[in-house]
Amino acid sequence: MVVWAKDDEGVVRGFILERGMKGLATSKIEGKFSVRASPTGQILMDDVFVPESQRLPDARGIAAPFACLNNARFGICWGAMGAAEFCWHAARQYVLDRKQFGRPLAANQLVQKKLADMQTEIALGLLACLQVSRLRDAGAASSEMVSLLKRNCAGKSLEIARLARDMHGGNGISDEYHVIRHLMNMETVNTLEGTHDIHALVLGRAQTGLSAFAN
């Protein structure tokens, strides 16, 4: 595993740690309701000695971990849109199949409006992800672009998952349809790799030139 920490000079550096090192413990976090497929754990260190050979030579300063973080944030944008697409397709199929008062739920105006809203947000999100992907390939993407995407894609996907759960009625909490699984996962994704509000501060700083992180 890679751990970012300050060295004796107070400079952030990257260190490679291996299980079995003296003083290092990694315990699994149990009882999660969300992102259950992802192994999440605690890292406990007590006077762990790391040899020079396991220090990342070119990673120096806060920019190094931020570069890793930015890549992770960008990947999340695509994943969030994938979850949103699943929920949209599941909701569409459900309201077509579910009959009430002699006709499918999909025949109601409000239901069609919800489907149109889902489709619109997903299309815009995917197009934005694609454009920033192209800019990243060209070396022209900024970290603020990634913050904008992560904030919007995660937030919109969470809204779509909630809407899909609602459109499934009581069945929305059943594992038969899996919408609730995506909803619970998106509650976490909206928080990890920078919360909705933190990315707002990143964008605010870019617009105004003033940092509000410490206020």
**Catalytic residue positions?**
193
The answer to whether the beta carbons of residues 70 and 144 sit under 8 Å apart is no
Look at residues 191, 115, 197 and name the one whose alpha carbon lies nearest to residue 160.
115
Helix-helix angle 143-167:63-97, to 10 degrees: 20
Q: Which residue has the tokens 């994704």?
A: 189
118: tokens are 């889902």
The 12-16 sheet, strands edge to edge: 2-6, 12-16, 55-60
Max CA separation in the chain (angstroms) = 74
Cα 13 to Cα 49, 52, 120, 127, 188, distances in angstroms:
15, 12, 43, 36, 28
Distance CA 63, CA 99 (A): 55
Q: Which residue has the tokens 């996907």?
A: 157
